[in-house]
């Protein structure tokens, strides 16, 4: 049994064992008996001599007992080190918008007597800050970053930050303020489109110190088709219909007086193919047929034929399962890469016997009660240090999410930082709602962030049960490991739904984590839409029009919904499917998924007259167009030659896919076979503009370095997570002071003192024996004991 006592800050006394104290009274009693026992005869020591001998022997016994108890002290001591600063400087192009403070900063630091080691982590077209951090951080060390944090090559800051946390290293940074204007234009849109079908392109202007409005001129094949005014870090949409087949050029030119000219022009190559052939199957004539004819080459039929080889997709509207036709041929068509759109009505889904037919397996919905049944849900709440400042927000959002979940669900709670903590077991929410809410309110924050560990902890709570993990986090963590865990969960039937909560939310990370499992991302202000997924009968969603459930998918991006069809088939969205749109009362309206190599869309909302009602009118009609286009997939998937070329950047390797019977050849391109009649090649563009490879045109644009400006929030988050500091460019003395603090090591020293007490006992005993022998030698006593 050990005992300790703290005397002051930094000094603790203690003993390893208490039991030797029990021997001290016994030793004292024995000594008293031996020393003071009565002796016969006149030759006996005086009472004074006996008392002195007894005191000496008791002191020896006490020292021996204390020595046997194992006394020790624990002290903390500061050891001054040799301070130094490792300064990582970014000399890539994006740093040209800031004042060059490197030399003055180094001079200020060295003026205090602290040496500086400077390492360059970026140059011209690329910033490799992540690689630089990984190479320079040392255990318990400190690095200072002079960079905007815009990593355009090498490992990410998230990966480098994880390495720094494992080494207990501190990353600080110099806060930079842009001094010069810089703007970059870019264009996003489809690479392959169909002739005669409107195509939408989004023009973006990003940068620093931008004016309130910028002017962008958009030209197609050299002819200006639009001049757009774009707000600060904003976007503008351009819609164009291509009639001629082949390659076309979309070029956006920004009018700007800034540092660089090369990012004022963006090139995009678009391949126009023939209108897809669509088979429309229905026993009646509906307006949706004419809508399809305006966009595609449409063939009509009363039922699905045996031969579907010529069709990109099949659209079936309001048909009972018994009148579908050749379902086996339809299944084969979808499995091999074709599309299928099934539109509801009074004769479809639950009214058409879909639940008992072979059609059911292909659909992303199950026929039945739209309110759903019991779902196993784990609320996974981030309580790490990165979420600490926004912990009140985290709790508020978590409680709001809890309020959206229906009583039918079984809900548990797991909190996490770099470890997972089980807060509440899975239990019916109807009986435990108040208890779960109180447990959420009691959560405290602290520690590093590891979302992957949290996901694993939530999965352990689910056990062998399939379910949903609702992740509430700011997303300030490395993506790769969390995405890998989420992907595995998705394959096992568990979906991750992420909710951005906190002061600084990394939406990109949270979106990708959710997407890996087939889940969705919601902002903190959108949690009411969770009722569409998990509200059940006790917490039904109520609105006044169609509602987008999952934003920014192929089907829902850029869509505005105003219609409110009066009817909807009773279906539930299957696990693993994408819940795209809901009706005003929360019933599924549009859902989609992949089936084999193909894509299937269920449209279950319809009007009182059996038509698609307001969905056929603008702006709602766009969601129908995008639903059919999603099912079609790649319009050129059956063609030969180069079928796709990735976004090309100057100086960066770009991949292309070629379909054909023989391996193609092209200067500067390495081809390898990846499947039957399919080859993949890589090449590196040397300059921006339009080029050609294997008779296919591509567009190459400025390096990524010239499109990312402004100090990255990822760098700020890394500084916070590693307990670093943000310094102003003129705070060299403060950086030196931090270096001195970091170089001072505080050590805990434990000293054992048993040997001191044992040695003192031995010296006292020997001294006392020698003293008595001297008394006999000098004749001062005639007793053999040496006592007078």
Sort 256 into a burial class: Cβ within 10 Å, 0-12 / 13-18 / 19+.
buried
Take residue 708 and report the two structure tokens written for it. Answer: 């990312």
- Would the pLDDT of 41 be above 50? no
CA 297 vs CA 274, 529, 554: distances in Å: 9, 37, 22
| Between residues 751 and 386, the one the model is more confident about | 751
The mean pLDDT value for 67-75 works out to 89
**Cis bond before residue 619 (omega within 30° of 0):** yes
What is the pLDDT confidence band of residue 747, given thresholds at 50, 70 and 90?
A: low
CB 113 within 8 A of CB 737: no
CA pair distance 2, 76, nearest whole angstrom: 20
476-511 residues labelled b (16+ CB within 10 A) or e (exposed): bbbbebbbebbbebbeeebbbbbbbbbebbbeebbb
H helix count then E strand count, the chain = 17, 43
What is the pLDDT confidence band of residue 739, given thresholds at 50, 70 and 90?
A: confident
Residue 744: how many CB atoms within 10 A of its CB? Answer: 11
CA pair distance 64, 250, nearest whole angstrom: 94
Q: Which segments of 265-349 does DSSP mark as H helices, in order?
A: 287-293, 327-335
Q: For position 782, what pLDDT does the model report? A: 64
Residue 173: how many CB atoms within 10 A of its CB? Answer: 23
Q: Give the CA-trace dihedral at 585, 586, 588, 589, to 10 degrees.
A: 50
CB 194 within 8 A of CB 635: yes
Q: For position 165, what pLDDT does the model report? A: 78
Take residue 582 and report the two structure tokens written for it. Answer: 């809901």
Q: For position 569, what pLDDT does the model report? A: 94
Take residue 662 and report the two structure tokens written for it. Answer: 């023989």
CB 193 within 8 A of CB 271: yes
| Between residues 771 and 786, the one the model is more confident about | 771
Take residue 181 and report the two structure tokens written for it. Answer: 């204007």
Average pLDDT, the chain: 87
Q: For position 389, what pLDDT does the model report? A: 60
Please enumerate in sequence order all residues whose Cβ is within 8 A of that of 6, keeping only pairs 6 or more positions apart, or say none: 12, 13
Q: For position 32, what pLDDT does the model report? A: 85
- Would the pLDDT of 386 be above 80? no
CA pair distance 559, 337, nearest whole angstrom: 26
- Would the pLDDT of 193 be above 60? yes
What is the pLDDT confidence band of residue 702, given thresholds at 50, 70 and 90?
A: very high
190-218 residues labelled b (16+ CB within 10 A) or e (exposed): bbbbbbebebbbebbbbbbbbeeebebbb
Residue-wise pLDDT tens digits, 478-513? 777 898 899 889 888 888 999 988 777 888 889 889
The mean pLDDT value for 129-135 works out to 91
Least confident of 169-173, 518-522, 591-595: 518-522
**Which H/E stretch holds residue 679?**
strand 678-683
Closest residue by Cα to residue 416 from 381, 371, 364: 381
Closest residue by Cα to residue 431 from 298, 583, 525, 538: 538
Angle between helices 157-166 and 713-721 (to 10 degrees): 10
What is the pLDDT confidence band of residue 78, given thresholds at 50, 70 and 90?
A: low
Sort 452 into a burial class: Cβ within 10 Å, 0-12 / 13-18 / 19+.
buried
Which among 98-107, 469-478, 551-560, 720-729 has the top mean pLDDT? 98-107
Backbone angles phi, psi at 546, to 5 degrees: -60, 145
CA pair distance 24, 757, nearest whole angstrom: 15
DSSP track, 621-676: HHHHHHHHHHHH--TTTT--EEEEEPPEETTS-EEEEEESSS----TT-EEEEEET
The mean pLDDT value for 299-316 works out to 94
DSSP track, 520-574: -EEEGGGGGGHHHHH-TTTS----SS-EESSTTSTTTTT-------SEE--EEEP
CA pair distance 201, 190, nearest whole angstrom: 8
What is residue 697's three-state secondary structure? strand
Which among 215-229, 525-539, 567-581, 660-674 has the top mean pLDDT? 215-229
- Would the pLDDT of 293 be above 90? yes
% of the chain with per-residue pLDDT over 90: 45
What is the pLDDT confidence band of residue 40, given thresholds at 50, 70 and 90?
A: very low
Beta bridge partners of 422: 414
SS (HEC) of 421-436: EEEEEEEEHHHHHHHH
Please enumerate in sequence order all residues whose Cβ is within 8 A of that of 125, keeping only pairs 6 or more positions apart, or say none: 92, 93, 650, 651, 703, 705, 706
The mean pLDDT value for 89-102 works out to 93
Q: Give the CA-trace dihedral at 565, 570, 576, 581, to 10 degrees.
A: 10
| Dihedral sign of CA atoms 614, 617, 621, 624 in order | positive
Distant-in-sequence contacts of 45-48, Cβ < 8 A, 24+ apart: 45/783, 45/785, 45/787, 45/788, 46/787, 46/788
What is the pLDDT confidence band of residue 155, given thresholds at 50, 70 and 90?
A: confident
Angle between helices 47-68 and 23-36 (to 10 degrees): 160
Q: For position 759, what pLDDT does the model report? A: 93
DSSP track, 82-126: ---EEEEEEEEGGGGGS---HHHHHHHHHTTT--EEEEEEEEETE
CB 357 within 8 A of CB 327: yes
- Would the pLDDT of 437 be above 80? yes
- Would the pLDDT of 464 be above 50? yes
């Amino acid at each position: 049994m050990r005992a300790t006592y703290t005397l002051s800050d930094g000094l603790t006394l203690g003993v390893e064992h208490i039991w030797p104290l029990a021997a001290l009274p016994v030793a004292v009693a024995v000594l008293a008996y031996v020393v003071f026992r009565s002796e016969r005869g006149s030759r006996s020591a005086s009472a004074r001599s006996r008392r002195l001998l007894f005191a000496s022997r008791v002191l020896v016994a006490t020292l021996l007992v204390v020595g046997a108890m194992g006394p020790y002290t624990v002290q903390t001591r500061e050891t001054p080190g040799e301070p130094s600063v490792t300064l990582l400087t970014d000399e890539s192009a994006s740093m040209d918008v800031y004042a060059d403070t490197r030399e003055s900063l180094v001079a200020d630091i060295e003026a205090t007597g602290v040496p500086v080691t400077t390492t360059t982590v970026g140059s011209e077209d690329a910033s490799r800050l992540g690689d630089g951090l990984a190479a320079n951080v040392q255990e318990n060390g400190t690095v200072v970053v002079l960079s905007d944090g815009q990593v355009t090559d090498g490992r990410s800051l998230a990966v480098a930050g994880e390495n720094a946390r494992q080494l207990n290293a501190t990353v600080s940074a110099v806060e930079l303020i842009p001094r010069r204007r810089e703007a970059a234009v870019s264009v996003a849109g489809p690479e392959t489109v169909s002739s005669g079908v409107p195509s939408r392109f989004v023009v973006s202007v990003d940068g620093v110190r931008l004016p309130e409005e910028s002017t962008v001129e958009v030209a197609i094949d050299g002819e200006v088709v639009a001049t757009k005014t774009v707000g600060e870090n904003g976007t503008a949409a351009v819609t164009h219909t291509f009639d001629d087949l082949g390659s076309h050029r979309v070029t956006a030119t920004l009018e700007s007086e800034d540092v660089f000219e090369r990012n004022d022009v963006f090139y995009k190559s678009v391949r126009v193919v023939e209108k897809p052939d669509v088979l429309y199957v229905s026993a009646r004539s509906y307006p949706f047929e004419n809508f399809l004819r305006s966009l595609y080459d449409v063939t009509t039929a009363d039922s699905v034929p045996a031969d579907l080889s010529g069709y990109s997709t099949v659209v079936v509207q309001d048909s009972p399962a018994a009148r579908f036709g050749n379902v086996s041929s339809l299944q084969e068509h979808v499995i091999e890469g074709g599309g299928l759109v099934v539109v509801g009505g009074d004769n479809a889904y639950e009214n058409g016997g879909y639940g008992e037919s072979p059609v059911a397996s292909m659909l992303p919905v199950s026929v039945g009660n739209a309110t759903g049944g019991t779902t196993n849900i784990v609320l996974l709440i981030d309580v790490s240090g990165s979420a600490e400042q926004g912990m009140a927000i985290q709790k508020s959002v978590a409680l709001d999410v809890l309020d959206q979940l229906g009583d039918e669900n079984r809900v548990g709670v797991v909190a996490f930082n770099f470890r997972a903590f089980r807060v509440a077991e899975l239990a019916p929410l109807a009986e435990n709602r108040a208890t779960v809410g109180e447990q959420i309110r009691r959560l405290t924050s602290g520690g590093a962030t590891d979302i992957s560990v949290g996901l694993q902890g939530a999965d352990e709570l689910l056990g062998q049960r399939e379910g949903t993990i609702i992740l509430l986090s700011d997303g300030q963590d490395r993506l790769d490991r969390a995405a890998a865990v989420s992907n595995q969960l998705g394959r096992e039937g568990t979906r991750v739904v992420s909710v951005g909560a906190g002061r600084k939310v990394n939406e990109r990370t949270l979106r990708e984590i959710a997407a890996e499992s087939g889940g969705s991302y919601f902002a903190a202000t959108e949690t009411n839409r969770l009722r569409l997924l998990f509200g059940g009968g006790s917490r039904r969603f109520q609105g006044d029009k169609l509602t987008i459930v999952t934003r920014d998918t192929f089907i829902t991006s850029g869509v505005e919904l105003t219609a409110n069809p009066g009817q909807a088939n009773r279906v539930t969205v299957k696990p693993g499917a994408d819940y795209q749109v809901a009706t005003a009362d929360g019933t599924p309206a549009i859902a989609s998924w992949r089936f084999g190599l193909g894509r299937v869309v269920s449209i279950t909302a319809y009007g009182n007259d059996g038509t698609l009602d307001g969905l056929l009118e603008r702006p709602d009609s766009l969601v129908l167009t995008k639903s059919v286009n999603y099912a079609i997939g790649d319009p050129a998937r059956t063609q030969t030659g180069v079928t796709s070329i990735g976004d090309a950047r100057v100086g960066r390797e770009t991949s292309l896919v070629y379909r054909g019977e023989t391996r193609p050849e092209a200067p500067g391109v390495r081809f390898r076979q990846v499947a039957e009649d399919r080859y993949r090649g890589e090449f590196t563009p040397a300059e921006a503009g339009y080029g050609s490879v294997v008779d296919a045109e591509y567009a190459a644009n400025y390096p990524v370095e010239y499109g990312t400006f402004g100090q990255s929030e990822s760098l700020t988050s890394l500084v916070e997570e590693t307990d670093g500091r943000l310094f102003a460019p003129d705070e060299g003395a403060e950086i030196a002071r931090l270096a001195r603090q970091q170089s001072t090591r505080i050590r805990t020293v434990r000293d054992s003192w048993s040997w001191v007490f044992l040695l003192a006992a031995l010296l006292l005993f020997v001294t006392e024996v020698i003293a008595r022998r001297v008394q006999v030698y000098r004749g001062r006593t005639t007793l053999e004991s040496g006592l007078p």
